[in-house]
């Protein structure tokens, strides 16, 4: 697992809501990578999920859950 998480961010703090969203996307992808570390396999699967409505919506949902965490971590950038 440590290999898949080697470039994990040091902090959940993000300067802007946009940076926080990019962090949420990164965490969502790390959640896939930690389960399937083989980048060649992940690349081979891209044509499938990137053209599948259910997978695209499900991906957006994982991002929304991580974003909820990161937004709270940054006090909603108030």
Per rule CB under 8 A, is residue 35 in the interface with its own copies? yes
Q: What residues from 47 to 66 belong to the interface with its own copies (CB under 8 A)?
A: 48-66
Q: How many CA atoms lie within 13 A of 2 on its CB side?
A: 0
Q: What angle do CA 40, 42, 46 make, to 5 degrees?
A: 115
Per rule CB under 8 A, is residue 43 in the interface with its own copies? no
Residue ranges binding its own copies (CB under 8 A) = 1-2, 5, 8-13, 16-18, 21-22, 25, 27-32, 34-36, 41, 45, 48-69, 71-73, 76-78
């Amino acid at each position: 697992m440590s290999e898949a998480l080697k470039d994990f961010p040091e902090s959940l703090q993000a300067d802007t809501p946009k940076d926080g969203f990019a962090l949420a996307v990164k965490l969502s992808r790390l959640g896939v990578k930690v389960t399937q570390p083989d980048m060649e396999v992940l690349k081979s699967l891209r044509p499938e999920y990137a053209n599948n409505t259910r997978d695209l919506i499900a991906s957006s949902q994982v991002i929304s859950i991580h974003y909820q965490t990161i937004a709270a971590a940054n006090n909603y950038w108030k």
